[in-house]
Amino acid sequence: MNKKNVITVLGWIFVATVVAFAFVRKFNDIPATTEIYTMNTIADIKVYGSNKKVVLQKVVEEINKINELTDDFSPHSDVYKINENAGIKAVYVHPETVDMVKKAVEIARLTNGSFDPAIRPLSQIWGFKDKNYRIPSKETIKNTLKLINYNDIVINKNTIFLKKKGEGIDLGGIAKGYTLDCIKTILKEMHTERAIINMGGNVLTYGNAPNGYWRIGVKNPRGDGIIGILKVKGTTFISTSGDYERFFIKNGKRYCHILDPNSGYPASKIVSVTVVSDRGYVGDALSTAFFVMGKDKALQNAKKFGVNIVGIDKNLKLFFTKGIEKSFVPENEKGR
């Protein structure tokens, strides 16, 4: 082969390589996606990269596994068995259930019970479990509060025991965040390029966004659409709790599903709070705790926990931890 032909062949190899690289790049930029109903919400999953379909399947399997462990209505779940045996005997459970409950009790202690995984009996008397919403009598609330105590959750190796009959745990305030922590581990082990998972107000952004920032909408609590966009970089957890998720209105007053473990009544000091953190379970549980605490205590505790928050008070005014407001773009300025 003469020199001219060699150059021609090398040229074609170079072109073919560039075209192949561009094709792979374009393929990787199209995510593998799915939506599944789980944990009383829709999980929207997008995974990017060369092994995206395999990763997507593993993510779905992990979500389903934790849902099966924590579904308090399923006789096969660990949580159901723990509640059914309250005051009777300890129950052997999956190691992830033990880990999740330990973390829930940890957050309960650190927030002085503003978040309490033993909240289930209160949710029941208000009708947030069977969706037969009602306002219980003061006497019923008073008696039920005797059953709300995270200190009655006894963890011994692989067993969990509730001290009193009638007590019950509900991991709905931490399970989605915990699941996202597990998904983050999967994404890292599988060398995933990037992904974004939204589990009904609990979001994991993983890796670098295509355009530098992941743009996460913060829902308008009193209307359609969003009140603004939160711009975050890299791997981050965003968790939101609001009084618009599950609620009923009686005599013109709104009663939401986020209950104050101290008073026994639905929390009502603010209407929404979004927590930005580096651990899913922390952000998930703290968004509930901060909603119960209200604006001032939420801001104080956010600093203590090393997280950032975007909140909306009763007058629909935004409030922020120091610095995070620079990452928040109000709806009327979202072009910037």
pLDDT > 90? residue 4: no
CATH number, domain at 227?
3.10.520.10
Q: What is the mean pLDDT of residues 101-108?
A: 98
Instruction: Tell me whether strands 91-92 and 153-156 are parallel, antiparallel or unpaired.
Output: unpaired
* Residue partners of 6: CB distance under 8 A and separation at least 6: none
pLDDT > 70? residue 6: no
Task: Give the range of the structural domain holding residue 204, as residue numbers without chain letter.
Answer: 32-67+177-333
CA distance 259 to 279: 23
As a whole-number percent, the residues of the chain with pLDDT over 90 amount to 85
Do 37 and 148 belong to one domain? Answer: no
Cβ–Cβ < 8 Å for 104, 118 = no
Do 153 and 186 belong to one domain? Answer: no
Within 109-225, strands assigned E span 153-156, 159-162, 194-199, 202-206, 214-219
Do 319 and 191 belong to one domain? Answer: yes
pLDDT > 60? residue 145: yes
Do 155 and 190 belong to one domain? Answer: no
Do 149 and 227 belong to one domain? Answer: no
Q: Which residue has the higher pLDDT, 333 or 279?
A: 279
pLDDT > 50? residue 208: yes
Do 132 and 220 belong to one domain? Answer: no
Total structural domains in the chain?
Answer: 2
Mean pLDDT over the full length of the chain:
91
45-60 tens-digit pLDDT = 999 999 999 999 999 9
Do 203 and 323 belong to one domain? Answer: yes
pLDDT > 80? residue 127: yes
Give first-to-last CA distance, the chain, whole Å.
58
What counts of helices (H) and strands (E) characterise the chain? Answer: 9, 16
Do 57 and 80 belong to one domain? Answer: no
Do 231 and 294 belong to one domain? Answer: yes
CA distance 176 to 197: 11
Q: What angle do CA 305, 309, 314 make, to 5 degrees?
A: 125
> What is the pLDDT, as a whole number, of residue 212?
85
pLDDT > 50? residue 20: no
Provide the pLDDT confidence category of residue 150 given band limits of 50, 70 and 90. very high
194 domain-assigned: yes
CA distance 298 to 320: 10
* Residues across the chain: 336
> What is the pLDDT, as a whole number, of residue 160?
98
> What is the pLDDT, as a whole number, of residue 324?
92
pLDDT > 70? residue 14: no
236-289 tens-digit pLDDT = 999 999 999 899 999 999 999 999 999 999 999 999 999 999 999 999 999 999
pLDDT > 50? residue 224: yes
Q: What is the mean pLDDT of residues 188-192?
A: 96
CA-closest candidate to residue 199, choices 63, 31, 49: 63
222 domain-assigned: yes
> What is the pLDDT, as a whole number, of residue 8?
53
Q: Which of 162, 194, 219 is the last residue of a domain?
A: 162
Q: Which residue has the higher pLDDT, 335 or 173?
A: 173
111 domain-assigned: yes
Beta bridge partners of 91: 160
As a whole-number percent, the residues of the chain with pLDDT over 70 amount to 90
> What is the pLDDT, as a whole number, of residue 231?
95
> What is the pLDDT, as a whole number, of residue 15?
45
Per DSSP, helices labelled H in the chain are: 3-28, 52-70, 78-84, 95-110, 120-125, 138-145, 175-189, 280-293, 295-305
Do 308 and 243 belong to one domain? Answer: yes
> What is the pLDDT, as a whole number, of residue 19?
42
How far apart, in Å, are the Cα atoms of 235 and each of 61, 62, 203, 208, 275? 21, 19, 10, 7, 14
Task: Look up residue 193 and give its two tokens.
Answer: 């390029």
Provide the pLDDT confidence category of residue 26 given band limits of 50, 70 and 90. very low
> What is the pLDDT, as a whole number, of residue 24?
41
> What is the pLDDT, as a whole number, of residue 22?
36
68-99 tens-digit pLDDT = 999 999 999 999 999 999 999 999 999 999 99
319 domain-assigned: yes
290-318 tens-digit pLDDT = 999 999 999 999 999 999 999 999 999 99
CATH number, domain at 119?
1.10.3980.10
2 domain-assigned: no
